[in-house]
Amino acid sequence: MGFNITEKLCVAVASSALFDLSESDKVFQEKGYSFYKRYTRQHLNDVFKPGVAFPFVRRLLAINKRFPEQKPVEVVLLSKNDAETGLRVFNSIAHYKLDIIRAGFLSGKSPIEYIPAFNASLFLSANADDVKEAVKAGFPAGTVLGPCSEDDESDDELRIAFDFDGVIVDDAAERIFQEQNLDAFQNNEKDNAKNAMDPGPLFKLFKHLSALQRADKLSERKHPDTYKRFLRISIVTARSAPAHERAINTLRKNRLEVDDAFFLGGIEKGRILEVMKPHIYFDDQMSHLKSSSGKHIPSVHIPFGISNK
């Protein structure tokens, strides 16, 4: 019987998101493909350092240990490398004991068209052009940003933070703000407070995570003395009252829950993220991401909607 991926929370990652490839990329850019291939053969057993998405991916995969019968999470590698040069990446995966066994090696071709084949709710890459191509095609994708992150192995909680507009939901309200003004935006959100917003690029991912969160909470209620929750989901948005109500109602009508919701109304998001220390943070606006970049927050840019025109 074949492996059924349709019910899994599947995340596809490029090797550039999972590991720090800066040294090997420099070889490729300066010396060309033939030299890069020889270089890779000579360094097959040299382990790559963790990349921006490594702490997130490691903890995401650990969820399967909590639910060993269902194994609800799948991470697949989608790489522009050929299979031979991809060996070093798989050797590094084995070194870090990451349960990633499935991959696609495209020998220089864009992996974007294979995102739906793997039922991926997210594709992560350091290649901004690939990510823009994916989002333009309607696929959920983000560009990892910032320095490579140290992973505290003693911290087994998975903290994920999301912007709201242009990430979880579409950018219809954001368009009103940018094309008109703040007052028009606030009035529109107040008038539509009870109307749920349409899904955005990471809605499917958020929904999968919310289902895992419910299972996490249920296990805690069943075994309060022995079970420790592993998943914490937060929203950090520039919305403020009265626009907060529509966001909350959108979550409620879709049976989605969050642990934390910050409605900042223009306060720099980095101030909150520095305290929260998420293992990954998703936002569609580079201006917000830049405020957290100096605070060593693993961040992902979602190039979606009017904010990226």
Cα(120)–Cα(261) distance, integer angstroms: 26
Number of helices (H) and strands (E) in the chain: give both, helices first.
12, 12
DSSP secondary-structure letter at 231?
E
What residues are paired with 165 via a beta bridge?
169
Does 189 have pLDDT greater than 80?
Answer: yes
Catalytic residue, candidates 20, 163, 165, 171: 163
Worst-scoring range by mean pLDDT, 38-42, 116-120, 252-256? Answer: 38-42
* Type and span of the H or E element at 178: helix 172-179
Position 37 confidence tier, pLDDT thresholds 50, 70, 90: confident
126 contacts 17 by C-beta, under 8 angstroms:
yes
pLDDT tens, position by position, 281-309: 999 998 888 766 556 789 999 999 888 87
Does 129 have pLDDT greater than 90?
Answer: yes
Model pLDDT, residue 28: 84
Worst-scoring range by mean pLDDT, 50-54, 238-242, 255-259, 292-296? Answer: 292-296
Helix (H, G, I), strand (E, B) or coil at 147: coil
DSSP β-ladder status, 141-145 and 299-301:
antiparallel
Does 11 have pLDDT greater than 70?
Answer: yes
Cα(306)–Cα(99) distance, integer angstroms: 37
Does 147 have pLDDT greater than 80?
Answer: no
pLDDT tens, position by position, 167-187: 999 999 999 999 999 999 999
Q: Is the dihedral of CA 47, 53, 56, 61 positive or negative?
A: negative
160 contacts 280 by C-beta, under 8 angstroms:
yes
Cα(246)–Cα(172) distance, integer angstroms: 13
Position 8 confidence tier, pLDDT thresholds 50, 70, 90: very high
How much is the average pLDDT of 238-265?
95
Reported pTM: 0.94
Which one has a higher pLDDT value, 149 or 75?
75
Model pLDDT, residue 192: 95
pLDDT averaged over every residue in the chain: 92
How much is the average pLDDT of 137-147?
92
How much is the average pLDDT of 197-216?
96
How much is the average pLDDT of 95-100?
96
Worst-scoring range by mean pLDDT, 30-34, 144-148, 186-190, 229-233? Answer: 144-148
- Residue length, the chain? 309
Give the tokens for residue 197.
């917003």
Active site residue 283: no
Percent of the chain at pLDDT exceeding 90: 77
Q: Which residues contact 185 (CB under 8 A, 6 or more apart)?
A: 173, 174, 176, 177, 243
